[in-house]
Amino acid sequence: MLRKIDWENQLGRRLRLHDLHVFFAVVQRGSMAKAAAHLGVSQPAVSEVIAGLEHALGVRLLDRSPQGVQPTMYGRALLKGGTAAFDDLRQSIREIEFLADPTAGELRIGCAETTASAVLPPLVQRFLQEYPRVALHVNNVVATAQQWRDLRERSLDLILTRYVGFDGGEEDDLDIQTLFSDHLVIAAGRHNRWAHRTKIDLAELANEPWILTPPQSYNSVILAEHFRARGLTIPKASLTTFSVHLRANLLASGPFIAAFPGSVLRLNADRFSLKALPVDLPDRPWPLCAVTLKNRTLSPVAQQFIDHVRACAMSTVSATAPAQKTA
């Protein structure tokens, strides 16, 4: 049985950030020798630090073999907690820097391509005009699961997502703030034969050439729900893609139909000569949210950006929300 560790006497006065830094380097490099070369110290010095940590904790942190080292379950626990501690320390340093100069800092944002290409540009432009010394890093990978991992591993500061919830309570460690509620609209090019109609029944579009997003995407899920609610077969896709630009270009020059978040259509309608078709769809809010970690110190730059997006989004919401039905 693991003995109880006396934090004050055993670790509080012995454990140093330098020791954790050395431990992280050994785990990342997979060997004492490689860690020593990376840190610019001797291998015995690295071995002494690891031995000191293991003695202080009373457990083996690394399994040694001729092929290198691997963290034990105790080592993985220290790695997890130490990573969070170092990240909070970095965030604190950033906060101090921000307080000293409120116009400087950096922010790492994860979001889907539809958000990065269609919603972010005007918001980012205004934000950087107001805070020109802030550096934004946007990672717009499609794989949402990868972004959740990046957020939890602290390589992202926040995620902008059209959040619809997890199954199984996987969001317990996340702070989710709704910035605005979007809505699905059906669009075509302004020269499309449907663009001149004043009213269109959804059934009339069932056999048109559709450009759809992949079936698991929320865009396609909502669209499928609308068709099923009318007892209609889900349209067959002429093309399946996440790319906003590809969809918009094909709509502008061809007979295609596609569904977009209302904000995406509004911000691209003039550029690509697109038009929302007058199809009466049930109101289904589709919120854009800012997701951060609950137990992570949120940098002032991140909070400033979230507040900015929420404030600037009001014009997008008012322009894309579906019209109220009248009796």
Q: Is residue 92 part of a domain?
A: no
Question: Which domain covers residue 18, as residue numbers?
Answer: 7-85
Q: Is residue 203 part of a domain?
A: yes
Same domain, yes or no, for 12 and 140?
no
Same domain, yes or no, for 169 and 292?
yes
pLDDT at residue 214, as a whole number: 92
- Average pLDDT of 103-113? 85
Total domains in the chain come to: 3
Same domain, yes or no, for 108 and 154?
yes
Interval 84-95: pLDDT, tens? 888 888 888 777
pLDDT at residue 301, as a whole number: 86
Work out the angle at residue 320's Cα, subtended by the Cα atoms of residues 317 and 321, and round it to the nearest 5 degrees: 75
Q: Which of 318, 251, 317, 322 is nearest to 280 (CA)?
A: 322
Q: Does residue 239 surpass a pLDDT of 90?
A: yes
Same domain, yes or no, for 114 and 250?
no
Q: Is residue 324 part of a domain?
A: no
Strands 174-182 and 257-261 come out as unpaired
- Interaxial angle between packed helices 262-272 and 244-253, expressed in degrees from 0 to 180 and rounded to the nearest 10: 50
Q: Is residue 130 part of a domain?
A: yes
Q: Does residue 210 surpass a pLDDT of 90?
A: yes
Q: Is residue 52 part of a domain?
A: yes
Query: Could you identify the residue written with the tokens 């009466």?
Result: 280
Q: Is residue 202 part of a domain?
A: yes
pLDDT at residue 279, as a whole number: 95
pLDDT at residue 115, as a whole number: 83
Interval 13-30: pLDDT, tens? 567 778 888 988 999 999
Q: Is residue 230 part of a domain?
A: yes
Same domain, yes or no, for 106 and 139?
yes
Confidence of residue 316 (pLDDT cuts 50, 70, 90): low
Confidence of residue 287 (pLDDT cuts 50, 70, 90): confident
* Alpha carbon distances (Å) from 113 to 62, 101, 116, 162, 307: 41, 32, 5, 12, 22
Same domain, yes or no, for 20 and 161?
no
How much of the chain, in percent, has pLDDT values that exceed 90?
37
Q: What is the mean pLDDT of the chain?
A: 84
How much of the chain, in percent, has pLDDT values that exceed 70?
85
pLDDT at residue 231, as a whole number: 93
Quote the pTM value.
Answer: 0.62
* Alpha carbon distances (Å) from 43 to 53, 54, 73: 16, 17, 24
Beta bridge partners of residue 290, listed in sequence order = 160, 177
* Alpha carbon distances (Å) from 267 to 20, 116, 117, 131, 274: 48, 12, 10, 23, 10
Strands 158-161 and 104-111 come out as parallel
Q: Does residue 238 surpass a pLDDT of 80?
A: yes
Q: Which run of H or of E encompasses 73?
A: helix 73-100
Q: Is residue 61 part of a domain?
A: yes
Q: What is the CATH number of the domain that holds 298?
A: 3.40.190.10
Same domain, yes or no, for 188 and 272?
yes
Same domain, yes or no, for 14 and 152?
no
Q: Does residue 321 surpass a pLDDT of 50?
A: no
| Residue 30 vs residue 105, higher pLDDT | 30
